[in-house]
């Protein structure tokens, strides 16, 4: 039994070993109207399977922060305008975009306000709709308490950061292992929605070993009975 457990650990260990922060890979899937067309507007604040907030952001719209249009409190990821100007980003807005829910992390200069999304199992990829990208917006990827990768609002490929922030980008992050995601911002609120994640699958040998362990446990239990 002990040898089987050891073998299971040896097979699973390389799978769960953290990659370096430099290995993180980011893809900008689409921006603005093209991004809106690719997300589920009926499930914008539905968390991925196994994900829970251990420190939850604000879910907008919220009566405590009523100014979304024009965006003053927070700028929706579905907002077709430029913060504080009334100008349009040139994308056709979604009908009733002001009522579409999204997450918002309030900015603090020292990042003392950090919202944390935790997973019960290790993940290997993350996707989300990132709104009104700001330099101060930051995502930290954490594995067992250690930061293994970071992504700031001005590091999205092919995305031009405006001042003030504007538009939205649908992004995909891969090539790293994590079980916690931290959202924070030092300047400008961090607005996002449609979070998706990809769990690390157990390799077939691990499933075989797990089945073997279960079978042995069953046999031993019968013998004791």
The predicted-structure confidence for 113-131, as pLDDT tens digits, reads as follows 999 999 999 999 999 999 9
What is the rounded radius of gyration, in angstroms, for the C-alpha atoms of the chain? 21
**CATH code given to domain 21-201:** 2.60.120
CA dihedral 153→132→176→212, nearest 10 degrees, is 160
Mean pLDDT of the chain: 82
> Per-residue pLDDT averaged across 145-167, rounded?
89
Residue whose tokens read 């405006």 = 162
Statement: residue 3 has pLDDT above 80? no
Residue whose tokens read 């290995």 = 23
Is-above-0.85 flag for pTM?
no
* Rounded Cα distance, 173 and 126, in Å: 5
Domain boundaries, the chain: 21-201
> Confidence band (pLDDT; 50, 70, 90) for 83?
confident
* Rounded Cα distance, 19 and 162, in Å: 32
Statement: residue 16 has pLDDT above 80? no
The predicted-structure confidence for 166-212, as pLDDT tens digits, reads as follows 889 999 999 999 999 999 999 888 999 999 999 998 764 544 444 45
Percent of the chain with pLDDT over 90: 58
What pLDDT shows up at residue 215? 47
Cβ atoms 174, 25 nearer than 8 A: yes
- How many C-beta atoms surround the C-beta of residue 3 within 10 A? 7
């Amino acid at each position: 039994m002990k040898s089987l457990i050891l073998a299971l650990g040896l097979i699973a260990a390389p799978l769960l070993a953290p990659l370096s922060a430099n290995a993180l890979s980011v893809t900008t899937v689409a921006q603005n109207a093209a991004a809106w067309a690719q997300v589920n507007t009926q499930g914008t604040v539905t968390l991925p399977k196994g994900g829970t907030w251990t420190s939850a952001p604000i879910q907008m719209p919220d009566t405590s922060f009523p100014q979304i249009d024009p965006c003053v409190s927070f700028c929706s990821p579905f907002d077709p305008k430029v913060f504080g100007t009334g100008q349009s980003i040139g994308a056709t807005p979604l009908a009733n975009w002001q009522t579409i829910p999204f997450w918002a992390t309030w900015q603090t200069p020292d990042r003392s306000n950090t919202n944390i999304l935790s997973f019960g199992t290790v993940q290997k990829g993350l996707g989300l709709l990132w709104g009104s990208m700001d330099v101060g917006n930051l995502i930290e990827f954490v594995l067992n308490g250690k930061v293994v990768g970071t992504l700031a609002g001005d590091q999205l490929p092919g995305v031009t950061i405006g001042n003030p922030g504007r538009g939205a980008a649908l992004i995909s992050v891969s090539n790293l292992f994590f079980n916690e995601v931290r959202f924070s911002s030092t300047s400008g609120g961090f607005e996002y929605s449609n979070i998706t994640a990809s769990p690390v699958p157990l390799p077939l040998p691990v499933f075989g070993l797990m089945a073997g362990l279960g079978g042995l446990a069953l046999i031993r239990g019968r013998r004791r009975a």
